[in-house]
Every structure is written in structure tokens, then in C-alpha cells.
């Protein structure tokens, strides 16, 4: 797949962008059968794309061999119905290796995660992502977060880089993002893509929509796809009344619960998937499982989410 078709397929998604969790057995090994089921169910529920082995999928916890197996399993489960975008990260040499493994496994694109540990200058970051983009024929989305934060000028340079099709923000600085969007719009006319990549992005998506960013990741889709779809439809149709009702009734309390533990953006989502009928196992260390009380609170929130959907019927 060339960059243009992937960008076109992602630009106006028919549903949420799905970031599946990675399934493990009780002994901690990969459970690819359950993973395929999880991915397949997400696509059948209405996902517009599958982002495999990214943050929610515990990219950091996978060996290269496990990563390749998971991406291949996602491609098999999707069976061409929607694009599969795979994570790629760590230092430049390893990120290039993961990019090539993803290409060999059949992925349609890459989400380039921040480099490992170091806080680099803009010139170094630009070189890092350009080397990832040059390593394969896969189109690349650059993920801004943690130790990889970009100036508008650097994003302009990325937008001019062959193979880089988009920019995902996990920082939440709307002033910076407005300047980034304006600079790229001025300097690089065309269809460069932007994504809201904050945890539980629905919580901030109305604000991102205000600066023209309509694409966002949805971890809630992993365990409450109908609710995530309802929110996505509300945004797409300008139904802010429904969006506000879902935010007030589910998303805000979920975000407040997520804030009770470090790493809950992954482990709480995984608990939700288990709670709704698919045993995807626990998270790998250094992440940890939610407490029993937090799991009980999550169960009540899931019930509340279903009740909110019933109110629409």
C-alpha cells in the first residue's frame, strides 16, 4: 500500500480508530487466538482502522518476535477490511527493525512512538523519524508525547518528509497544536493528518475538534464499542447534546477512575475487556492490575454506559 491510499482511508473514518489490547495466557505468553478474536470483533463492531501493538497494546512489553506475530495475527483477523497500523519505537536502529518487521507482517502503516529514554533536540528527533520513514515503504504517523515534543517548524519538516502522512498528539497543549496546524497548513499544502492521541481521547475531542483535529484514538472501543460508536457518531453529526451526555455520564468518571493508578490507561482497559467477556489476560510488568475496588467501580461504569445507550433507544 502506498502512502496516499492509507491517508485517504484514515482521513474520514467510518468509525473509531481501534487500539486493541494484546492478549496473554495465564502463564504470560501470547494468546494469538484470543487476540485475533479481539481484533475481529472490533472490526465487525465498526472500527475504521486497527492500530496494533501500540500503547494500549503494550508495545513496550513485546519482544520483536512477539511483535511480528501480533501484527501478522491482526492482519489475518482484519482480512483487508480496514487498514492495520503497527507501532514502532525505541532507539533508531530498533525502531527501524520494528518497522521492517511490521512491513513483512503485512501492516499498512506505522505509528512511530517516542525514542527510548533520551530527551533529544529537534534536529535529532527529525533525523530519527526520517530514518524510520526511509526504512520501509509504509506510511508513517509520528506520535508526539513524553520525550518527543516538536516545534511547529519541525512538524513542517516532518510533513515534507517522504512517507510521513500524519502527526498524533499525546501532549495536550492546544496552543502548540494550533500553531503546528497553522504552520503546516501555510507551508505544506495538502492532506496532512492530525490525531488526538491523549488517553481516553473522547474526553478532550470536542476541544481538538475546535482546532480542526477530527481524528482520535479510542481505547474505550476495546470494551464498550457501542458507546464509543455513539460518541463518534455524535461528533460526526454535530450532536453535541449526545456527546455531552456521554461525557458527563461515562467518560469523565472513567477518566477520573483512570487517574487513580499509573498505567491504568492500559490495565483498566484490559480489565474492561475481560469484564465484557473476553479473557485477554493481565498486563505485563512494569504495569500492574487495578485494585479490586477500582475494578468494582469500573463494572458500575460499564453498567452506566449500557444504560446511557438504552436511553437513546
Known catalytic residues are 143, 168
Rg (CA), the chain: 18
Gap between the Cα atoms of 114 and 109, Å rounded? 16
Residue 309 per-residue DSSP state:
H
Gap between the Cα atoms of 18 and 278, Å rounded? 16
239, three cell numbers:
450532536
First to last CA, the chain: 40
222, three cell numbers:
476495546
Question: Quick check: helix, strand or coil at residue 46?
Answer: coil
Amino acid at each position: 500500500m502506498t502512502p496516499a491510499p492509507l491517508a485517504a482511508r484514515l482521513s474520514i473514518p467510518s468509525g473509531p480508530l481501534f487500539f486493541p489490547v494484546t492478549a496473554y495466557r495465564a502463564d504470560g505468553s501470547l494468546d494469538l487466538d484470543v487476540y485475533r478474536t479481539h481484533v475481529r470483533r472490533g472490526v465487525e463492531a465498526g472500527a475504521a482502522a486497527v492500530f496494533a501493538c501500540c500503547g494500549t497494546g503494550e508495545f513496550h512489553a513485546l519482544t520483536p518476535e512477539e511483535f511480528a506475530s501480533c501484527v501478522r495475527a491482526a492482519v489475518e483477523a482484519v482480512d483487508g477490511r480496514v487498514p492495520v497500523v503497527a507501532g514502532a519505537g525505541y532507539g533508531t536502529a530498533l525502531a527501524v527493525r520494528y518497522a521492517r518487521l511490521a512491513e513483512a507482517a503485512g501492516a499498512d502503516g506505522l505509528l512511530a512512538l517516542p525514542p527510548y529514554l533520551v530527551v533529544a533536540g529537534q534536529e535529532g528527533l527529525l533525523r530519527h523519524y526520517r530514518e524510520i520513514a526511509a526504512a520501509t515503504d509504509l506510511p508513517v504517523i509520528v506520535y508526539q508525547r513524553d520525550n518527543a515534543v516538536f516545534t511547529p517548524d519541525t512538524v513542517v519538516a516532518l510533513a515534507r518528509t517522504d512517507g510521513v502522512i500524519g502527526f498524533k498528539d499525546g501532549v495536550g497543549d492546544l496552543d502548540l497544536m494550533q500553531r503546528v496546524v497553522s504552520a503546516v497548513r501555510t507551508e505544506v499544502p495538502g492532506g496532512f493528518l492530525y490525531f488526538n492521541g491523549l488517553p481516553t481521547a473522547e474526553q478532550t475531542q470536542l476541544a481538538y475538534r475546535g482546532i480542526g483535529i477530527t481524528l482520535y484514538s479510542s481505547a474505550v472501543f476495546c470494551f464498550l464499542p457501542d458507546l464509543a460508536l455513539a460518541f463518534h457518531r455524535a461528533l460526526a453529526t454535530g450532536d453535541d447534546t449526545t456527546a455531552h451526555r456521554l461525557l458527563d455520564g461515562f467518560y469523565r468518571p472513567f477518566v477520573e477512575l483512570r487517574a487513580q493508578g499509573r498505567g491504568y490507561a492500559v490495565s483498566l482497559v484490559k480489565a474492561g475487556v475481560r469484564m465484557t467477556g473476553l479473557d485477554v489476560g493481565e498486563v505485563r510488568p512494569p504495569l500492574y492490575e487495578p485494585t479490586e475496588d477500582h475494578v468494582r467501580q469500573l463494572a458500575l461504569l460499564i453498567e452506566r454506559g449500557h444504560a446511557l445507550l438504552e436511553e437513546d433507544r
